[in-house]
Amino acid sequence: MAKIGFIGLGIMGKPMAQNLLKAGYELTVYDIVADRMDSLVKAGARQGSSSKDVAAKSDIVITMLPNSPHVREAVLGPDGVLEGARRGTILIDMSSIAPLASREIAAKAREKGVVMLDAPVSGGEPKAIAGTLAIMVGGPEETFEEVKDILARMGSSVTRVGDIGSGNVAKLANQIIVALNIAAMSEAMVLATKAGVDPEKVFQAIRGGLAGSAVLDAKMPLALKGNFKPGFRIELHIKDMANALDTAHELGVPVPLSSTVMEIMQALKGDGKAANDHGGIIQFYEQLAKVQVRE
């Protein structure tokens, strides 16, 4: 069984690593916040001292980090993955970063004989815990087939989209659709509440029709309780939308709705709500309409 290294043990990374441990893989973990490693080490993982150390002890290295600069530092920087990795090591970056950054890092990895996949995920903390994430993969098909079973320990849907960078293109598409779904839900439910109609009953009435969605089912019950504990923080969705906007502009693709929801999230960040779950987008509409959508 392959020896796996896991770098980045935040809200998503820790439960993903836990699922690999439960599956019986030999795991070495590392995070710059040392106490994030404690529970995994108690569960049987080895503690790495750096990204380089993790790579030296692993056949496959997984990174799950906030954004492109963090992945570059962990992989290409001093004491990074490429300093410790052997030729033939597989690097799976499961972070959500810019597609161009994935391609640049993969090219540097290739020079060292390391093959890289980009494999961002969707589903948030609940699905990370359950091991039912949707995983979108870019990179060589033969490498994907080699690690597919490992990825399947963390996700219920594992799909190779194309070459390196295409996993993150799929993730950007995912994040646009999620953000716009939450914004649409928010507009609709604030309208219903302002009109004097019970938003919980509206939710039940429409969820089985064409307006129903996984986003609606996941976020509306939390909004009705005023529960905006992340999940997936607004500040992280801002990061993803910035990558989506940059990529779209580089390609000459107009994304007016994405630009609007980005400004809504920026307004919430300015109001001190950056650490709220992205379902907290509804608060922007509540404030404008002077009404709260609650049970």
| Digit-coded pLDDT (tens) for 67-91 | 999 999 999 999 999 999 999 999 9
Return the percentage of the chain with pLDDT > 90, whole number: 96
Does residue 44 sit in the same domain as residue 134?
yes
Q: Which of 142, 163, 184 is the last residue of a domain?
A: 163
Cβ-contact 12, 134 below 8 angstroms: no
Structure tokens at 284: 């922007």
244 pLDDT more than 90: yes
H/E run at residue 174:
helix 166-194
Our measurement of the distance from residue 148's CA atom to the centroid of its chain's CA atoms, rounded to an integer in Å, reads: 18
Candidate list 171, 219, 239, 273, residue with the active-site label: 171
Rounded-to-integer distance, Cα 146 and Cα 166, Å: 18
Does residue 242 sit in the same domain as residue 120?
no
Does residue 91 sit in the same domain as residue 126?
yes
Range of the domain at 33: 3-163
Query: Residue 21: which CATH number?
Result: 3.40.50.720
Question: What is the per-residue pLDDT for 295?
Answer: 78
Q: Is 194 a catalytic residue?
A: no
Cβ-contact 182, 281 below 8 angstroms: yes
pTM of the model: 0.91
